[in-house]
Amino acid sequence: MDILDQLEQQSVYILREGFRHFERLCMLWSIGKDSTVLLWLARKAFFGHVPFPLVHIDTSYKIPEMITYRDQLAMEYKLTMIVGQNEAVLKSGKTFPNTQNLPEGDPNKVSRLECCGLLKREALTNTLNGSWPRKRLNLKTGKYELDADKEPYHGVIVGARADEEGSRSKERYFSPRDKNNLWDIGEQPPEFWNQFKTDFAPGTHVRIHPLLDWTELHIWEYIKREKIPTVSLYYDQGSGTRYRSLGCAPCQAPIQSTAKNVDEVIAEIKSGKLKNIAERSGRLQDGKHGLEELRREGYM
Amino acid sequence: MPTATKTGQEQMNIVIVGHVDHGKSTVVGRLFADTGSLPEGKLDAVRKECERTGKPFEYAFLLDALSDEQDQGITIDTARSFFKTKKRDYIIIDAPGHIEFLKNMISGAARAEAAVLVIDAKEGVRENSRRHGYILSMLGVRQIIVCVNKMDLVKRDEKVFKQIEKEFRDFLKEIDSAQPKEFIPVCATLGENLAARSKEMSWYKGPTLLEALDEFSKAPSKSDLPLRMPVQAVYKFVSQGDDRRIIAGRIEAGKAKVGDKVVFLPSNKTSTIKSIEGFNVADRQEIGAGWSTGFTLSEEIYVTRGEIMARPEEAPLVSTRFRANMIWLGKKAFTEGRDYKLKIHTQSQPVRLHKINKVIDASEAKGDALKKTDVGRHDVADVILETRQPIAFDTISLGEATGRFVIVDGYDIAGGGIITKVETDEKESLRAEAQARNFNWIKGGVSQEARSLKVGHAPALIMFVGKEGVGKHKYARAVESSLFESGKSAYMLDGTNVLLGVDADLVWVGATQAELVRRFAEVAHILLDAGHLVISTTNAIGLADFSSVQALLPDFPVLAVEINPSKSTVGTADLRFTGKEPESELIQSITDLLIKQNIIPK
Ligand SMILES: Nc1nc2c(ncn2[C@@H]2O[C@H](COP(=O)(O)OP(=O)(O)O)[C@@H](O)[C@H]2O)c(=O)[nH]1
């Protein structure tokens, strides 16, 4: 058994525990490489099936190719695909891309971080707890329809990895969030062996992290081994740049790289060329502690 | 921080533990520096920063500096800090910084393959030295090194070192904990006996810390042990057009191959492995320890989560009672007479504290047994636990994953421990009878699953218990009729009918009570095997006999419905009624329970 096998077995075990203990379970799918690996692991765990809904928060600023890829895979894998969005803010136009040209100090100006808070964090919280409408992909017509289900989700599977940033190293495989979606790092329950926190008080929910032990390199080596389809944005298409992490188009800068396929991406990571560049450095909204705050408030 | 380890290179997860200020961070900082695992220029930068601010340099500052970097997400494999030797990469799972929290220490140590416990030579063995030592052993970390640190403060005196070693070994011995592999005298600030041998302590002939770590081995494969696969779930994705009925779980020990005869404990059901299932993997005929996999069986049988799949000749233990070493972390003490939830492998069961053998107080120098009636926060204890129904398990020396458990109080994991011994309960001979009977049972041509599909529900025994004249018979009849009217194959078994025939040779005296129960359960067993919902009512067999009936029927759900319960029996029955309720209310509650237990469909 090599390290990828070991990681896979543990992730599968965690996914099955999640499915067993949470009747209202969903998986967040950002269309990025990590959550796509997670989706693949779900098919491993459930012998080709994905027995819970996938939730995607559409900020409307995603690179269009991501949405096409999402719906393609959803149809092919027969996923229960749920999409949530902050319709009110999008209608009002109060987003970072819309207001970035306003002069400094203008009260209508929305910063990158505030924009994330509105389009991602708020949309996610309200989609998960069911207070905002959810759209669901009709697998027969290929169109999104209003979902009749308004019940909150109590178990949320996310693709967080411990190596991404400092705060994640304090995470557990099963990590409780309180009523306000808050994460109390100090009061986390212990995790003995493979016994996870699967009992939760009404109103709270649990984040499940099957990828906690994986590194960026493991993710790519696994994509290679399993031949998992990925968005072409991760590869250089001739411009000498590629995306290392995917987010919203206005806030996502590609990195300088000529890696054209999975093998070249792996070679690049192994070479240490990216060693001193944060994986998410292309994401312009990550201030020093911006992301941890967003996390704590429930965005991730 | 060091660059990411490359896939395939040997890695070992270690934790560094010990009492606060005994030098954990210094040991780690020094190991990073001395193995060349720090990013270039880091050490100098931290030294300069100290000079500038006029603080004396500390190796521990290296960790702070590195963790600042983590927060900024600058380096790749930052969450797990590690250092390299020629032999392998060591990943430090939990940074010493957060170790004040016992919960975090446990979460980290539960995943560690080896541990370094640091004890201050001047301060000696302290409360957390003892507690951490015990916890490591309890969590199953067998490869432990004790560093007796700050030897410079005790003039590098061998006597001091030896004294601490003796004191700590004695403590561990007294509480039956695993002994460390090495005791090493070190001086972390000067790097003596960490990466390099101390010239000052020439009296010490043993290995340095790095040498000792490199001596440790990766855990051998568990594939050669007896087969243990706790059932995690039984999947059937019919709505997706998939007919396979897959018994899923992780093989914790041993291996299984297509064609193997297997038994599931505690139900004692047997079958044969038909196929090994997987997604996007090559077909396989055999699979070993460590794999999260799934099987289909040749003869379809009903098994449930929490059962252990094993080979009939090397089955795990089954009992309601076991002896354990445990630690308690809950704010409220662990006490007798209260209900908790036990989680062991994939099983979860109501559990009670049956007896405290001793509570060890880590704040005392000697592992003295306290005369305590409960187990308080951060206490470690030797106890006997009792589950409501029999569970399958191993003692820790024979099976790791099947020999350790946690206890849930309310919504939180509040304690954990390892099973040291099976305690016999009164039902052992009955379970043996059931096992022998089931292993050798000759099956008909109709499988249990086929039968259940046809009749539309699974078999179960619903036992009405309570004193004479409380209305059991009336209720049982009503339940039988109602279930029958809704198309179920329901049958009322009145105890009197068993007495009249099967028991006709027994004299109705106390001495034969056990035999009455046995015969009653065997009659029920045949009716259950025939697929019926059996509703029994009898004055001869009461709630006190419930666990005997259960022991004889491990392969079927047995539910107790008590009418007009007495105070002493509260808590044992699945449902309780005063005897004044209308029949419709009982029928509703029983139907709900049967649905909840997946016995009848919604
Ligand atoms: N004299 C001396 N002091 C040490 C030694 N190792 C650590 N210390 C000091 O002990 C104090 C606590 O060390 P630290 O590593 O922070 O302890 P931790 O709380 O266990 O992580 C610091 O001031 C260190 O400089 C040693 O070998 N000799």
Yes or no, beta carbons of A44 and B240 under 8 Å apart: no
Nearest CA to ligand 1 atom 8: B23
B408 lines ligand 1 (CB under 6 A): no
CB nearest B413 (choices: A197, A280, A288) = A197
Ligand 1 pocket test: which of B15, B20, B21 has the largest number of ligand atoms within 8 Å of its C-beta?
A: B21
Q: State whether residue B306 is helix, strand or coil.
A: coil
Q: B323: which 2 tokens?
A: 């002896």
Q: Which pLDDT score is estimated for B549? A: 92
Ligand 1 atom with least separation from CA of B27: 15
Asked whether B522 lines ligand 1 (CB < 6 A), one says: no
Say what the pLDDT of residue B2 is: 33
The predicted-structure confidence for A18-76, as pLDDT tens digits, reads as follows: 999 999 999 999 888 999 999 999 999 999 999 999 999 998 888 888 899 999 999 99
Q: Do B73 and A278 touch (CB under 8 A)?
A: yes
Count other Cβ atoms within 10 Å, centred on residue A22. 21
Question: CA B15 to CA B1: how far, in whole Å?
Answer: 18
Question: What is the C-alpha separation between A246 and A131, in angstroms, rounded?
Answer: 27
| DSSP reduced 3-state for B147 | strand
Please name which of B406, B422, B420, B402 lies closest in space to residue B253, comparing C-alpha atoms. B402
The tokens describing B98, both together, are: 């957060």
How far is the C-alpha of B252 from the C-alpha of B244, rounded, in Å? 23
Under an 8 A CB cutoff, do B72 and A288 touch?
A: yes
| Segment of B114-123, B324-333, B425-434 carrying the highest mean pLDDT | B114-123
Chain A residue with minimal CA distance to B135?
A: A192
Rounded to an integer, the average pLDDT of A162-189 is 65
What's the rounded Cα separation, in Å, for the pair B200 and B192?
8
Contact B237 A51 (CB under 8 A): yes
User: What average pLDDT does range B408-434 have in this prediction?
Assistant: 89
What are the φ and ψ backbone dihedral angles of B14, each rounded to 5 degrees? -125, 155
Show Cβ contacts of residue A128 under 8 Å, excluding neighbours closer than 6 positions: A26, A55, A152, A153, A156, A205
Closest Cβ–Cβ partner in B71, B280, B412 for A189: B412
The answer to whether residue B69 scores a pLDDT higher than 70 is no
Task: Identify the residue among A178, A192, A273 best suited for mutation to test binding to B, counting B beta carbons within 10 A and taking the highest.
Answer: A192
Q: Verify whether ligand 1 is closer than 6 Å to residue B153 (CB atom).
A: yes
Distances in Å between the Cα of A270 and the Cα atoms of A232, B8, B10, B130 are 21, 12, 16, 42
Give the chain B residue nearest A77 (alpha carbons).
B240
Is the model's pLDDT at A179 over the cut of 70?
A: no
CB A132 within 8 A of CB A149: no
> Using CA atoms, how far apart are residues A7 and B588, in angstroms rounded to an integer?
47
Q: How many CB atoms lie within 10 A of CB A248?
A: 23
- How far does B293 lie from chain A, in Å, by closest CA? 8
The sheet with strand A135-137 has its strands ordered as A144-146, A135-137, A81-84, A54-57, A25-28, A155-157, A205-208, A174-177
pLDDT of the residue at A226: 96
Distance CA B590, CA B483 (A): 10
Q: Which two tokens stand for residue A51?
A: 């027995």
The closest of A216, A284, A180 to A37, measured between CA atoms, is A216
b vs e for B79-91, b when ≥16 Cβ sit within 10 Å of the residue's Cβ?
Answer: bbbbbbbeebbbb
- What's the gap in Å between the CA of B350 and the closest CA on chain A? 14
- In chain A, which residue's Cα lies nearest the Cα of B347? A195
Q: Specify the 3-state DSSP secondary structure of B355.
A: strand
Distance CA B309, CA B260 (A): 11
Instruction: Give the nearest partner residue to B408 out of A168, A170, A199, using CB atoms.
Output: A199
Residue B24 Cβ < 6 Å to ligand 1: yes
Identify whether the C-beta of residue B251 lies closer than 8 Å to the C-beta of residue B289. yes
Question: Which of the listed residues B119, B189, B194 should we mutate to test ligand 1's pocket, taking the one with most ligand atoms within 8 A of CB?
Answer: B189
> What is the three-class DSSP state of B340?
strand
Rounded CA-CA distance B437/B458 in Å is 21
pLDDT at position B141: 87
Three state DSSP letters for chain A: CCHHHHHHHHHHHHHHHHHHHCCCEEEECCCCHHHHHHHHHHHHHCCCCCCCCEEEECCCCECHHHHHHHHHHHHHHCCCEEEECCHHHHHHCCCHHHHCCCCCCCCCCCCHHHHHHHHHHHHHHHHHCCCCCCEEECCCCCCEEECCCCCCCCEEECCCCCCCCHHHHHCCCEEEECCCCCCCCCCCCCCECCECCCCCCCCCEEEECCCCCCCHHHHHHHHHHHCCCCCHHHCCCCCCEECCCCCEHHHECCEECCCCCHHHHHHHHHHCCCCCCCCCCCECCCCCCHHHHHHHCCCC
Q: Could you say which of B79, B110, B278 has the minimum Cβ distance to residue A168?
A: B79
B302/B294 Cα distance (integer angstroms):
15
Supply angle C-alpha A267, A273, A274, rounded to 5: 100
Which positions in chain A touch B406 (Cβ < 8 Å)?
192-193, 195
Give residue-wise pLDDT tens across range A225-283.
999 999 999 999 999 999 888 878 888 788 888 999 999 999 988 876 665 555 655 55
Contacts A23 to B, Cβ<8 Å: none
Rounded Cα distance between B167 and A142, Å, is 72
Count CB atoms within 10 A of the CB of residue A256: 11
Say yes or no: CB of residue B25 within 6 Å of ligand 1. yes
Answer yes or no: do B250 and A9 touch at CB < 8 A.
yes
pLDDT on residue A101: 85
pLDDT band at B417 (very low <50, low <70, confident <90, very high): very high
- Does residue B519 register a pLDDT over 50? yes
Upper half-sphere CA count for residue A199 (Cβ side, 13 Å): 16
> What share of chain B has pLDDT > 70, as a percent?
90
Q: Mutating which of B106, B111, B275, B279 best tests the A interface, going by the most A Cβ atoms within 10 A?
A: B279
At residue B97, does pLDDT exceed 70? no
Residue found under tokens 């009977």 = B437
For atom 7 of ligand 1, the residue with the nearest CA is B23
How many angstroms separate the Cα of A146 from the Cα of each of A108, A139, B188? 31, 13, 64
ipTM over 0.85: yes
Report the distance separating Cα B388 and Cα B350, nearest Å.
Answer: 6
pLDDT band at B568 (very low <50, low <70, confident <90, very high): low
Nearest CA to ligand 1 atom 25: B58
- Is the C-beta atom of B193 inside 6 A of ligand 1? no
Angstrom CA distances, B563 to B82, B254, B573, B595, stand at: 63, 47, 10, 21
Residue nearest to atom 13 of ligand 1 (CA): B23
Instruction: Please give, rounded to a whole number of angstroms, the shortest distance from the CA of B168 to a CA of chain A.
Output: 25
